[in-house]
Structure 1
């Protein structure tokens, strides 16, 4: 279905702002647009708000509720009779949806469209090459089914969850990776819940050195008669183990301490210096071959693989827009040095807003985890401030847009100083991927009605 084409600049200026993605940052942007009286439309590819988060709903987060709710969204929810969750609780992904995102989407009403996957964004009548008058025409957004919509600005909060990194160690798919895809899962499968039968009693190889890999390893270790091998490119696992008891982030330190003990005891077999090069399915499982930079090979045969190698942004929907991307991270060039994971952890990324997020294409902004490209240092609180700044700029309030602030605790919101108290209530909460997520808690589940919902996205 084709929408009626706007014919004047005046009509273009009255079009809605389109937000892509109904995760935490996308819905926060919508709340800010509503708060400023700007027309908007949220396009969510999934069947519910927080559809990507639902994929890891069994996982608990590092940051407590008080850092997971956008302030403007909270004011909107307060007006709808919503009951705020306990601010010091570390929620699960499922709790985040039930206690925050679903109520927020409901409060935003019919301006949130589900099952609306964006396939392309361009300028009406302009490809990427044409310049004169470009800024005076609206954006054209094409949906997967062919429907076309028009917008005065686009806020892309679509995330990176659907574009995981490959298993191959050099950034390319390992040889044969596509042929054994049915035996490869990506980060954070529900090992102790819905996916238990897939893993129990089977030899699993976990590839990756981040907190997502560590979380999966800890879960697998709770399954009896289940061999576990852990493969990392580094020569040792000290970065994953972290600081232990000396770690400034209690949950993160506990994660590394538990993992280290399991490796030392032999429960988990560690393969260091492992560069995945080739995978082949045979009658005995999957043969995985490592070839390091010197040409030396290692080989292991397993039943399943968990590829916890991170994510990358997919900018293909914006290929007809003028983007200025950092060649390393895939963020904007201005943002890249502020989020470089070689220099920053999640708690040390400085506040940033519309100026660092702007592209040569006026009116297009990627926010949230997609704005970070391949950097794993993203925090929801940072994404909320991005959304606030961008919406202020779209509204023409440049003073507010450039007054960028971020209230983080001294060590960043990747942790909670109440982790010990929460451990006594539901079991140890430990962290994964950039300090945002945590290990599944198999012994006790937290009622969404009692404690509200979770994080991330």
Structure 2
């Protein structure tokens, strides 16, 4: 029995997976506190609320959360509808945090900056398991916990633009004035930054596809808007994806529409373009590839994916795979060289366990730099880990998962890890009326894609099947 069983379980992050863990803890009768750095639930998801996800509501709601909500009279959205990121927050996650089982247990503005063992650093072994976790917040407050479930995600730590995993020369100098990350709202609040400008989108995932389609739409409305696209590989096969073979039709349509825009000349594709340097030249930037090719643009959108930041757990004993940055047991199950989002096998507490007892990273962060995370996977992780913390090892190890197969979440072996993003988790722009044939792609663990078809034919967008 845990000697600190009277202390709460600390959940870091109030996104979909973190709140799923909270719901399972509430059902199990375990004390807990949720620490969220933002000012409301799912702060990262709210930042791309204009994006519509690929997957319908039925993939986006955790089972324990649904039970708690429905017991309180909540009526679930149409299971086949494709929600915007903002709708997932307002129609599902916000009501969840207000339930009696969770109300008062979710702390906002609570940024975790370090986790250790109370009175022990990483070197000390004697008495380690008998010492509670010590969690320090950015405002200096500290609290203790019996266990830590880290569902903080990867949204705050995007990959660099430069090839080889290293920042491009001059990337830091150009960042503030010229570079946007994480799916800007091209057709909405960020429109003025892109209208009439030449934008270079760097990256080959759904986040890139989202932005490309939004920019192509903007180009039909704002004269002078130009769209270029740079990828490191020799062909855009990964972005074009599975088309009609995709189990989520809206996701499959994403790549097909990008391909049509490239073929028509609306998007200029620069393949084999591994960024070496970014040089500011007055009001523009010159982006140069290792091959010597150069593209001069007014703005850059970095859509190169995300990576985990394990800094807060530096005093804990983690056993991270040297390639993926996940636990060693999980790494071969999520390797993008072998798996797509839909072929990752079920996994739970056993694959997520570190040498540090009762510390678990779940959600997108658990996958390290693998871009194969799905939100439904995160829900099953949360269920399994909480069952283990409750001592129900039979349930903890009975991991089951049914995922939609996909042709667009796979990564070719030649694809560099820093060129990938969470294939089932990136935002897409807001639904707007537009010429037939446009749409977009992914957000923070959710498959996404903006509706840019005629309203009567809106097929949905993006992908709620991923997410943290």
TM-score, normalising length: structure 1: 0.90
Q: Does the 8 Å contact 1:348/1:412 carry over to 2? A: no
Work out the CA distance in 1 between the residues paired with 2:294 and 2:227.
Answer: 15
2:173 maps to: 179
1:26 aligns with 2:25: no
Q: Is the 8 A contact 1:67 1:413 kept in 2?
A: no
Task: Tell me which residue corresponds to 2:189.
Answer: 194
Once residues 405 and 112 of structure 2 are traced to their aligned partners in structure 1, the CA distance between those partners, rounded to angstroms, is 39
Query: What residue in structure 2 maps to residue 240 of structure 1?
Result: 239
Matched, 1:109 2:103: yes
Q: Are the counterparts in 2 of residues 210 and 433 from structure 1 also a CA contact under 8 Å?
A: no
The counterpart of 2:131, out of the listed 125, 130, 137, is 137
Q: Is the 8 A contact 2:275 2:287 kept in 1?
A: yes
Matched, 1:251 2:261: no
After the TM superposition, which residues 63-142 of structure 1 pair with which residues of structure 2 at under 5 Å, given as runs?
A: 63-107=55-99, 108-142=102-136
> For 1:1-80, what aligned pairs fall within 5 Å after superposition?
10=3, 12-80=4-72
The CA deviation string for residues 390-424 of structure 1, in whole angstroms up to 9 with x for no partner, is 001111111111111113346599899xxxxxx9x
**Structure-2 change in CA distance of 1:393 and 1:412 (3 Å):** farther
Residue in 1 aligned with 2:354?
359
- Rounded to whole Å, the distance in 2 between the matches of 1:171 and 1:345 is 21
CA deviation map 1:52-72 (0-9, x unaligned): 001111111111101111111
Displacement of 1:25: 0.5
Q: Which runs of 5+ in 2 are unaligned?
A: 410-422, 425-430, 457-462
TM-score, normalised to structure 2, is 0.88
Task: Look up the match of 1:151.
Answer: 145
Deviations 1:205-233 (A, max 9, x none): 00001111011101100113311110000
Using the TM superposition, give the Cα deviation of residue 243 of structure 1 relative to its aligned residue in structure 2, in angstroms: 3.4
1:248 Cα shift? 4.6
* Residue 6 (structure 1) aligns with: none
Query: Could you tell me how far apart the structure 1 residues matched to 2:303 and 2:19 are?
Result: 27
1:380 pairs, out of 375, 380, 399, with: 375
Separation in 2, partners of 1:201, 1:256: 25
Give yes or no for contact 1:124–1:138 (8 Å, CA) kept in 2: yes
**Are 1:62 and 1:430, in contact at CA under 8 Å, matched by a contact in 2?**
no
Q: 1:269 aligns to what?
A: 268
Q: Is the 8 A contact 1:20 1:42 kept in 2?
A: yes
CA offsets per residue over residues 233-264 of structure 1, 9 Å max, x none? Answer: 00111221123334454223311111111111
CA contact (8 A) 1:174 1:277 kept: yes
Pair 1:204 & 2:199 matched:
yes
